[in-house]
Amino acid sequence: MNITQLLFWLLTVIAIGSALMIVTSKNPVYSVLGLIVTFFAISGHYILMNAQFLAIVNIIVYAGAIMVLFLFVIMLMNLSRATETLKNKWLQIVGAIAGSCLFLVLIAALKNTEIKKNLVEMGTGDIGLVKSLGRELFTTFVVPFEISSVLFLSAMIGAVVIGKKE
Amino acid sequence: MYLLAIDWIFIIEKLVLIAAIVTLSMVVAMYATYGERKVAAFIQDRIGPNRAGPFGLLQPLADGGKLFFKEEIIPLASSKFLFILGPLLAMVTALLTSAVIPWGASMNIGNRTVPLQVADVNIGILYVFGVVSLGVYGIMLGGWASNNKFSLLAAIRGASQMVSYELAMGLSLIAVLMLTGSLQMSVIVGEQYNAVWNIAYQPIGFIIFFICALAETNRTPFDLPEAENELNFGYHQEYSSMKLGFYLFAEYINMFISGVIMATLYFGGYDIPFVNEASLAQHIGENWVALLTFLTLMVKALFFVFVFMWIRWTIPRFRFDQLMHLGWKRLIPLALLNMVITAVVILWLKK
């Protein structure tokens, strides 16, 4: 077992462990912290695949900005006290079934891809570096890229319009 | 020396470098507290600390000793784990940033070129941004875990302030990145090495970056998270002993590191002005030049630390709505304009 494999398994254990913590912990603040740790572990996986840009953007956007807003809301509403009542039993069962179905579909989709053979890429493969990623985005995929940016803009304007007082 | 397919000399080299940089940041932060008090004293026409040792030079040690021996209080109603995690995160994120900074020209030890940089990663400056954006957790968790309304308010102020000013900071940086064409810190310095510094092309960008750096490190005029006349003592009100010390210490480390980053991005990094390092290396040897370049970077960084202190003891703090107004309605449009103009000029000149 060389060092990359060791890192891979370590990150995997951290990711799954903290993901479980999100669901199981009673205090929502701990759930948010668990989610942040999960993002870090996933970023570690990205770095093992030499996708440095993806890794750091994952940290800046999700761990650095979006989770701060989550924490913000939880702190302001003071949700830490476990006041939430138990949900309907049937609802729980349905939720469990739906979740497992999604999980099954994901596994089936990923079973035959080449990802299985290529768990890590050390020093090889520059597809995840800034230069090659930028070139792809602004040449091959320029139309979807621009459309998604327009989508973001419209979402932003919509939020401002809804949030504005009469 | 290869063992378990690991180059151990490489690891030892990096460990020594990391230890040196962390120690350096700590010592600079320690003496920055002394410097802060001396600068304050000078501006207010006082003498400042002068009892512990010659010129009061042992004052930081005395302060540290005092903080370590104080009683440690953890409020009963707070979450103990998060309460301790707060200052820890503040300290760790403050120190993490130093990993990608090139601290000087590379040295030559035993036929081995040793770059004075821990990791020259492809994403360089984005790594700095990632770590800075995590810095907010130290304040938020500490303030919330204290279970005190003033602390919570301060934590929320701090978080919203840091998130808002990160945007303008990133936008002002894009202009520099367009000039350099790379995110790698070593390339950004290399472009300015023995050439024109980025400040000549990006004066407005630098001013925006500087203002945002003040806001990110929670320094006056943006120190609203610890506005004592509104919030008692801010997010670290419930903290005592060294946990309080770590919060205060992290601020000084952040100040030093942001000084280094400003020097690296806009003021040529470790480039000695008006000196050709390559010809100097032939006279006095590569290692001495590396040392000189490192000292140059330190002088530039410490100058910025001084400017931070100068501002603190000159300007009163903003009101919170003024701060948000400045961030969102002034700095972001200005940074966008700066970015567009830079892009147009670069395209025009390249054609």
Q: Which residue has the higher pLDDT, B82 or B281?
A: B82
Contact (CB, 8 A) for B235 and B142 = yes
Residue B112: strand pairing partners = B109
CA angle B213, B214, B217 (to 5 degrees): 80
Could you give the residue ranges of the DSSP H alpha helices within chain A? 3-24, 28-48, 52-57, 67-77, 89-111, 130-138, 142-163
What's the whole-number mean pLDDT along residues B189-197?
Answer: 82
Contact at CB, A71 and B123, closer than 8 angstroms = no
> What's the number of domains chain B is made of?
1
Residue B2: φ, ψ to 5°: -115, 130
Q: Look at residue A119 in the predicted model and tell me its pLDDT.
A: 61
**Among A33, A36, A49, A75, which would you mutate to test the B interface (most chain B Cβ atoms within 10 Å of its Cβ)?**
A75
Q: Look at residue B226 in the predicted model and tell me its pLDDT.
A: 74
Q: What secondary structure letter does DSSP report for A50?
A: T
Contact (CB, 8 A) for A93 and A100 = no
3-class secondary structure per residue, chain B = CEECCEEHHHHHHHHHHHHHHHHHHHHHHHHHHHHHHHHHHHHCCCCCCCCCCHHHCCHHHHHHHHHHHCCCCCCCCCCHHHHHHHHHHHHHHHHHHHHHCCCCCCEEECCEEECCCCCCCCCHHHHHHHHHHHHHHHHHHHHHHCCCHHHHHHHHHHHHHHHHHHHHHHHHHHHHHHHHCCCCHHHHHHHHCCCCCHHHHCHHHHHHHHHHHHHHCCCCCCCHHHCHHHHCCHHHCCCCHHHHHHHHHHHHHHHHHHHHHHHHHHCCCCCCCCCCHHHHHHHHCHHHHHHHHHHHHHHHHHHHHHHHHHHHCCCCCCCHHHHHHHHHHHHHHHHHHHHHHHHHHHHHHHC
Is the per-residue pLDDT at B307 higher than 70?
yes
Give the residue numbers in B contacting A (CB under 8 Å), as ranges: 4-6, 79, 82, 121-123, 126-127, 129-130, 133-134, 136-137, 140-141, 144, 152, 155-156, 159-160, 163, 166, 183
Model confidence at B231, pLDDT cuts 50, 70, 90, reads confident
Q: Which residue has the higher pLDDT, B171 or A126?
A: B171
Q: What residue type is B174 in one-letter code?
A: I
Q: Which residue has the higher pLDDT, B310 or A126?
A: B310
For residue B79, list chain A residues with Cβ-Cβ distance below 8 A.
27, 29
What's the whole-number mean pLDDT along residues A27-34?
Answer: 86
Residue B29 falls inside a structural domain: no
Q: Look at residue A147 in the predicted model and tell me its pLDDT.
A: 93
Residue B328 falls inside a structural domain: yes
Residue B133 falls inside a structural domain: yes
Q: With pLDDT > 70 as the criterion, what percentage of chain B qualifies?
A: 98
Model confidence at B4, pLDDT cuts 50, 70, 90, reads low
Average pLDDT over chain B, rounded to whole? Answer: 85
Model confidence at B303, pLDDT cuts 50, 70, 90, reads very high
Q: Look at residue A157 in the predicted model and tell me its pLDDT.
A: 92
Partner residue opposite B133 with nearest CB, options A2, A60, A130? A60
* CA separation for the pair A120, B158 (Å, rounded): 39
Contact at CB, B155 and A75, closer than 8 angstroms = yes
Q: B315 lies in which domain range?
A: 74-350
CA angle B28, B30, B33 (to 5 degrees): 105
Contact at CB, A68 and B129, closer than 8 angstroms = no
Contact (CB, 8 A) for B268 and B179 = no
Model confidence at A118, pLDDT cuts 50, 70, 90, reads low
What's the whole-number mean pLDDT along residues B188-216?
Answer: 87
Q: Which residue has the higher pLDDT, A99 or B72?
A: A99
* CA separation for the pair B167, B174 (Å, rounded): 11
What's the whole-number mean pLDDT along residues B310-328?
Answer: 86
Model confidence at A28, pLDDT cuts 50, 70, 90, reads confident
B53-108 confidence digits (pLDDT tens): 888 888 888 888 888 888 888 877 777 888 888 888 889 988 888 888 888 888 87
Q: Look at residue B207 in the predicted model and tell me its pLDDT.
A: 92
Is the per-residue pLDDT at A47 higher than 90?
no
Q: With pLDDT > 70 as the criterion, what percentage of chain A qualifies?
A: 84
Is the per-residue pLDDT at B192 higher than 90?
no
Is the per-residue pLDDT at B152 higher than 80?
yes
Q: Look at residue B74 in the predicted model and tell me its pLDDT.
A: 81
Partner residue opposite B156 with nearest CB, options A56, A57, A72? A72
Contact (CB, 8 A) for B103 and B291 = no
Model confidence at A121, pLDDT cuts 50, 70, 90, reads low
- Nearest-CA distance from A145 to chain B in Å? 19
- Nearest-CA distance from B99 to chain A in Å? 15
For residue A29, list chain B residues with Cβ-Cβ distance below 8 A.
79, 82, 141, 144
Q: Look at residue A24 in the predicted model and tell me its pLDDT.
A: 86
Q: Look at residue B70 in the predicted model and tell me its pLDDT.
A: 86
Q: Which of residues 111-130 of A touch B (CB under 8 A)?
A: 129-130
Q: Which residue has the higher pLDDT, B186 or B232?
A: B186
Stretch among A12-21, B187-196, B245-254 having the lowest mean pLDDT: B187-196
Cβ burial, residue B67 (10 Å; 0-12/13-18/19+): middle
Q: Look at residue A152 in the predicted model and tell me its pLDDT.
A: 92
Q: Look at residue B121 in the predicted model and tell me its pLDDT.
A: 82
Q: Look at residue B217 in the predicted model and tell me its pLDDT.
A: 85
Q: Which residue has the higher pLDDT, B132 or A154?
A: A154
Contact at CB, B159 and A72, closer than 8 angstroms = yes
* CA separation for the pair A35, B188 (Å, rounded): 34
Residue B49 falls inside a structural domain: no
What's the whole-number mean pLDDT along residues B27-43?
Answer: 89
Report residue A63 CA to chain centroid gap: 9
Q: What residue type is B1 in one-letter code?
A: M
* CA separation for the pair B50, B59 (Å, rounded): 8
Contacting residues for B225 by C-beta, under 8 A, at least 6 apart: B139, B143, B154, B155, B157, B158, B161, B218, B231, B234, B235
- What ipTM is given for this predicted complex? 0.81
Is the per-residue pLDDT at B234 higher than 80?
no
For B135, the closest chain A residue by CA position comes to A64
Residue B304 falls inside a structural domain: yes
Residue B323 falls inside a structural domain: yes
Q: Which of A109-123, B228-242, B258-272 has the highest mean pLDDT?
A: B258-272
Q: Look at residue B97 in the predicted model and tell me its pLDDT.
A: 87
Q: Look at residue B163 in the predicted model and tell me its pLDDT.
A: 83
